[in-house]
Amino acid sequence: MRTSRALKRSLAVAAVVASTAVAFSGSAVAATTATTTSNVPLLCPVEYQGQTYVLNYARDYTVTAPANVGRNSVFTVSFDPAPINPRTEFNTKVWDVKFVYNLPAGAKVLGYSLVGGSNLGNSKQTVEFEPGRAIVKATGPFKAGEDADVPTLKVALRAPSTPGEVTTSIAGTSAADPGFRWTAEDPTTFEVGTLPCYPDPAKPVALSKTQVR
């Protein structure tokens, strides 16, 4: 479900509230912000000559989130993926790039913004939300062998009303439900194919952890 303009406008209000670093629950809780860079192992099923092969891949993500917040308070989480740089031996260019993030369970999305980015050319970046997820899409195309830095996604959220730990992570469970993907052109055959990737379930990684108090 695509986020409405009203949600976009609400980010400005949410950012002001979040900047106070005060949680509006029974008692105020000062928000200590933590920035963490995580290397996330991914599994990427690909088809080759009628066979399916699973490639081992990994990507870095830098996420900023408060270490603690009060119940029902407003806070911001930022998702900054490492630049994409398709390998020239496998790609001429890539497009239709998608990043999917799991949002903190029980938190309500108030708004969002995209910040920064470089070497994006004519690519158009959009944001969508599904229950519990945020999706960043970049149309590309992006040339192989060059860094393309997709903008950082900042999401304003309202914390759950119950205490406990909430986390963020890369979404995805299969090739049909990827947490990262792109479409690419082969430099030898010029065939077009997709690279769908999802987190390795044997090696789960939490991008951020926030205590709701």
The predicted-structure confidence for 116-167, as pLDDT tens digits, reads as follows: 999 999 999 999 999 999 999 999 999 999 999 999 999 999 999 999 999 9
**What SS3 state is found at 191?**
coil
| C-alpha–C-alpha distance, residues 85 and 144, integer Å | 6
What b-and-e string marks burial along 116-137, b requiring 16 or more CB atoms within 10 Å of the CB?
ebeebeebeeebebeeeebbbb
All structural domains of the chain: 5-212 (2.60.40)
Q: What's the pTM?
A: 0.86
Element containing residue 11 per DSSP (H, E): helix 5-19
How far, in Å, CA of 15 to CA of 74, rounded? Answer: 8
Contact yes or no for 1/130 (Cβ under 8 A): yes
